[in-house]
Amino acid sequence: MTMNIFAYASRNKLRFSSSRGELTTEQLWDVPLRSGDGFNLNAVAKVANEAVKAANEENFVETTRTSGHTRVEMVFAIVKHVIDVKLAEEAAAKQRAENKIKREKLLTALAEKQDGKLSEMSERELKKQIAELEEQ
Is residue 88 classed exposed, middle or buried when 0-12, 13-18 and 19+ CB atoms within 10 A define those classes? exposed
Q: Is residue 113 part of a domain?
A: no
Q: For 9-33, what is the mean pLDDT?
A: 94
- Whether 75 is in a domain gets the answer yes
119 in any annotated domain:
no
The per-residue pLDDT for range 72-85, each reduced to its tens digit, is: 999 999 999 999 99
Top-confidence residue, 7 or 3: 7
pLDDT of amino acid 60: 63
Residue 118 counted as domain residue: no
| 16 membership: H or E segment, kind and range | strand 16-18
State the residue range of the domain holding 84: 5-102
The confidence score (pLDDT) of residue 98 equals: 96
- Residue 64 and residue 102: Cα distance in Å, rounded? 57
Q: Is residue 129 part of a domain?
A: no
